[in-house]
Amino acid sequence: MFQVTRAKLNVTAADHISAEAKLATINALVCTRCGYGHLGKPEDPEPKDHVCDHCGEPFTPESRVNELYRIETVETKVRERISVNDEERQRQGYDIITTYRFLPGPGGGPEKEEADVTTGNRVIARLTYSQSASLWRINRGWTRRKDKNQLGFHINPLTGQWSKEEPDGEEDENGEAKENKVASQRIVPFVEDRRNILIVTPPENTMEKEAMATAQAALKRGIEQTFQIESAELIVEALPSPGDRRSLLLYEAAEGGAGVLSRLASDPSQLAQVARAALSLMHYEVTDGPVSSSVLKDMAGAEAGSGAIPCEAGCYQCLLSYFNQPDHAIINRRNAEAVSFLAALANATVQPLQRVKSSSVQDCDNNVTTPLDQWLATLSSQGLRQPDKVKVPVNGGEAHADALYQASRALVFLSPPTETVFAYARDRGFTVITFPSDASSWPDLFAQHPSIFGTSPANS
């Protein structure tokens, strides 16, 4: 057993110290909807965003994490004995969140690809894959801290030693000379990494916390089984936080990894296989052909005459593992929402969403099939601005906007959206533009919104 006693402070921080006896920290805004991170920089600690770069959600006071300090190396000391108190603390654990940000791709935009997971014409999940993302793991403090709004830990800004007490505390357990004492500083420690990541998002408000925790454990086990990888190689976490589970964030422990995630995001049937493996691990009988959650046969304890202990909510053969201990109380292999989600995945196909490429639009000219193709071709022929994304899910997939212009926060519909969808988009500050099916009126609409579509060289 090792105990971390001291963070090694980096040189620039130490320089800063001598002047003010304080470590230089940064602030962050972490989206409370999708978990996307917006971090300040050492030279400019305050992030400037007002809405989430990834999903457009406005920030709330809960988005804020202040006084972040990046830990690069730590010093440990060997502990022969762990006291009951230490053990209790480990059990309670830390309040750790993971936040991420797509790095810029070759075109300057965020490096990511999206795919819909569909059965029939129903979208049951959205996949977002990035082959290059920053990951930050932020330790907000003890899970059971008294004041939930008070984040972080106290550290001696000169020595990097973690201190237990409040600033200016009289206690001096290590017998340090009083004159070496500096007022301790509260910081929120974080570590940074680069990974390829996959985010799985079911439609909003369709799964309770228990169902998400169960699906999280199930997909992790299903992937391990399907791709024959070790449990420690794959990490699956809840986004934006374990307390509010809306998406699952998957990444491989080793940089580069086994390439599992990109295959899940691009192969039409691999995710379905993972879901089948997961259901089978959860002691359900999975036969060939489509899976139906209503007729899945529970085989727990039926492994005939083996004396196997029947599994109720979960066991170490199915969903429970050393890694998901904090979730054991809410993992339930019989959770109806989780089982029906996995059954739907088992029947589903992954369909990569069309990437917007202005060059490929020209190729469609002679063979226009859909209104969207025609609309994109019109933009192109008029020399107008292409959207950042097409077929964008709105309100958790209730509808799809045909196009999104990120910078001007505009959504384009080629058939009128429902009142709910319209209100949802408008309440989030989007300009909604509906184009009628008659293409002859489009140039007028383009001309009415030059800030969104730009100006056609033909009209200027």
* Distance separating alpha carbons of residues 125 and 115, to the nearest angstrom: 9
Q: Are the CB atoms for 130 and 196 separated by under 8 Å?
A: yes
Nearest CA-CA partner of 283 in 311, 320, 325? 311
Closest to Zn ion by CB, 4 vs 55, is: 55
Q: Taking CB under 5 A as the rule, does residue 36 contact Zn ion?
A: yes
* Distance separating alpha carbons of residues 218 and 269, to the nearest angstrom: 17
- b/e string for 363-392 if b means 16 or more Cβ within 10 A? ebeeeeeeebbbbbbbbbebebbbbbbbeb
Quick one: which segment of 25-33, 199-207, 337-345, 435-443 binds Zn ion (CB under 5 A)?
25-33
Candidate list 9, 23, 33, 341; residue touching Zn ion; CB under 5 A: 33
Closest to Zn ion by CB, 31 vs 199, is: 31
Q: How many CA atoms lie within 13 A of 104 on its CB side?
A: 4
Q: How far is the CB of 315 from Zn ion (least distance, A)?
A: 3
Q: Taking CB under 5 A as the rule, does residue 388 contact Zn ion?
A: no
Quick one: which segment of 33-41, 92-100, 257-265, 420-428 binds Zn ion (CB under 5 A)?
33-41
Closest to Zn ion by CB, 54 vs 140, is: 54
Whether the upstream peptide bond of residue 202 has omega within 30° of 0, thus cis, is: no
Closest to Zn ion by CB, 21 vs 309, is: 309
Closest to Zn ion by CB, 311 vs 421, is: 311
Instruction: Give residues 81-120 in contact with Zn ion (rule: CB under 5 A).
Output: none
Q: How far is the CB of 325 from Zn ion (least distance, A)?
A: 16
Q: How far is the CB of 151 from Zn ion (least distance, A)?
A: 20
Q: Give the N- to C-terminal CA distance of the chain in Å, as an integer.
A: 72
Nearest CA-CA partner of 393 in 19, 23, 45, 56? 56
Binding residues for Zn ion, rule CB under 5 A, total: 12
Q: How far is the CB of 376 from Zn ion (least distance, A)?
A: 26
How big is the chain, counted in residues? 460
Closest to Zn ion by CB, 246 vs 400, is: 246
* Amino acid, single-letter form, for residue 384: L
Q: Taking CB under 5 A as the rule, does residue 38 contact Zn ion?
A: no
Q: What is the DSSP letter of 299?
A: -
Candidate list 313, 315, 364, 447; residue touching Zn ion; CB under 5 A: 315
Closest to Zn ion by CB, 301 vs 443, is: 301
Quick one: which segment of 8-16, 32-40, 110-118, 134-142 binds Zn ion (CB under 5 A)?
32-40
* Amino acid, single-letter form, for residue 129: Y
SS percent in the chain: helix, strand, coil, step 5: 30, 30, 40
Q: How far is the CB of 335 from Zn ion (least distance, A)?
A: 13
Q: How many C-beta atoms surround the C-beta of residue 166 within 10 A?
A: 11
Site string for Zn ion, 42-81 (x = CB under 5 A): ----------x-xx-x------------------------
For 112, 146, 311, 350, the CA distances from 265, given in Å and listed in that order, are: 11, 41, 32, 7
**Residues contributing to the site for Zn ion (CB under 5 A):** 31, 33-34, 36, 52, 54-55, 57, 311, 315, 317-318
